[in-house]
Structure 1
């Protein structure tokens, strides 16, 4: 353990030495550039922030295509840019997944729930267009960290959002939440209060209220000592509810990381901090393809009830 902290101190020193860079710019500067193929600035909708960067694995895809992960970053719904998460795109692509790192609209441009249609639209793009990036449209997983994990949870658990985009939750192979808030009324954080209309926070805004037997297979990862989002109230409780509903769940608690360093542990220089990348990769690759099913528009055209 002591050696680990020596390594961390040395790496933080390297980051600090990269003058003029933000923390994520410095982190991304240490990420390999030869482990993926990048298609930047892919529009999944008409809004300025409805863009994603797509990271493809190198090499030949398996039959049917690579698994696809749509990733949403955190930032209390107030901040974040997809370019800051090149380390996540590289991590997933280098481990055999097509990674779609998506922007979405933030406060004050929007408040709850208007960022959720953005996220659903990004996932809908993956479901319909991932084959052009050697992805398998029946192996699409939605993933997020912190506020992004909330977004992923709502897309996976509340069918309203994908339905608005002409899709169904059953089209997802699974979902991944890292350090996410899933049950946070009453809201304490001032920025989150602004986003969710405090004191009139809609009860249906909480992912835990949307647990059901039809939820996709789930991976929940937390920092055991997370000081920002209570891992027991949020992830542990959600895992219990999903399991009781008959949904397969993998729930992992990680030592030696916090709320932020959990996602940082996906970056190549910091992967010794936690096995989260290896375990998320194993989960995604183990998922069976979602069943082939007709879209609502297809059903209507066929005259089916």
Structure 2
């Protein structure tokens, strides 16, 4: 199969949502198994969807422990499972990052803001358990793609969610958003509309409204040609707002990928497509204290 045909089929499968598992099976089957140790189904709350998988690097931990990241997948808050993102857990662990791939409750069982409570619970679990897992509790990050990037942004910027778990965004070393929606009212996507109570949108739903000077450092990535989540309105505007506030931010737009293949390019078999894995892992491996605001 030539690359163009392969990528066309990949993008079609991924954008179908429920068919994601079929594509992810291929990405997951091709991943190496020697780069990580695996612990499945760790509970971070009482609900069956409040579970996460742990990908522990096999390389020696640096002094203080590995950086830790909690990863939230996309799917319009309608679908997704942590089992479909084994490729992402392996990718991050292969770079020396302790990765926690978290499930969270989805529509129609919940709507906004319940999945943010889940995201904060998973993050609080990481902060609490980092040392026991070999991670550095001072180097905990949240990361997400698409809807998952929204979750990560809200946990990192809106103090309500971590405060309810006895923590603060100040406890985070940073956050990473890939192709995230950060300013999207009014909502045109029917799937997102029902999640956010259209047309009666609750106040305080937009991550960009919570930018502040002391926000955790950020890495924002997006496909230059993203036709699902506008990179100018979302990624570029968020980066500009953070920079104007004096918060440390790095931003990169990627050529040759789209909304879906941006995250898929983290998989071992697709890393030729972009440098996103190198970029996000470098962001987490560098000393947060030496980072300055940039774009």
Q: Same fold (TM over 0.5)?
A: yes
Instruction: Give the C-alpha shift of residue 13 in structure 1.
Output: 8.3
Aligned residues: 282
Counterpart Cα distance in 2 of 1:215 and 1:27: 34
Aligned to 1:47: 47
Tell me: CA distance 1:248–1:13, structure 2 relative to 1, closer, same or farther (3 Å).
Answer: closer
Alignment of 1:144-293 (within 5 A): 144-288=144-288
Q: What are the ranges of 5 or more consecutive residues in structure 2 without an aligned counterpart?
A: 13-20, 291-295
Runs of 4+ in 1 over 2 A off after TM superposition: 5-16, 287-290
Q: Does 1:22 align with 2:31?
A: no
Instruction: Give the C-alpha shift of residue 10 in structure 1.
Output: 5.8
Partner SS for 2:132: helix
Aligned to 2:68: 68
Instruction: Give the C-alpha shift of residue 26 in structure 1.
Output: 1.4
Instruction: Give the C-alpha shift of residue 15 in structure 1.
Output: 12
Tell me: CA distance 1:15–1:178, structure 2 relative to 1, closer, same or farther (3 Å).
Answer: closer
Counterpart Cα distance in 1 of 2:129 and 2:27: 30
- Could you list the per-position Cα deviations for residues 247-281 of structure 1 after superposition, in whole angstroms to 9, with x for gaps in the alignment? 11100000010000000000011011111110111
Contact 2:42–2:52, Cα closer than 8 Å, also in 1: yes
Counterpart Cα distance in 2 of 1:14 and 1:190: 24
Counterpart Cα distance in 2 of 1:11 and 1:217: 33
Q: Does 1:33 align with 2:47?
A: no
Instruction: Give the C-alpha shift of residue 8 in structure 1.
Output: 5.1
Tell me: CA distance 1:14–1:101, structure 2 relative to 1, closer, same or farther (3 Å).
Answer: closer
Aligned to 1:299: none
Q: What are the ranges of 5 or more consecutive residues in structure 1 without an aligned counterpart?
A: 291-305
Counterpart Cα distance in 1 of 2:152 and 2:199: 24
Tell me: CA distance 1:96–1:198, structure 2 relative to 1, closer, same or farther (3 Å).
Answer: same
> Once structures 1 and 2 are overlaid, which stretch shifts more, 147-156 or 57-66?
57-66
- Could you list the per-position Cα deviations for residues 219-243 of structure 1 after superposition, in whole angstroms to 9, with x for gaps in the alignment? 0000000000000001100100000
Alignment of 1:68-107 (within 5 A): 68-107=68-107
Instruction: Give the C-alpha shift of residue 11 in structure 1.
Output: 7.6
Contact 2:59–2:96, Cα closer than 8 Å, also in 1: no
Contact 1:174–1:287, Cα closer than 8 Å, also in 2: no
Higher alpha-carbon Rg: 1
Tell me: CA distance 1:227–1:11, structure 2 relative to 1, closer, same or farther (3 Å).
Answer: closer
Partner SS for 1:214: coil
> Once structures 1 and 2 are overlaid, which stretch shifts more, 23-32 or 174-183?
23-32
Contact 1:141–1:174, Cα closer than 8 Å, also in 2: yes
Counterpart Cα distance in 2 of 1:30 and 1:86: 11
Instruction: Give the C-alpha shift of residue 131 in structure 1.
Output: 1.4
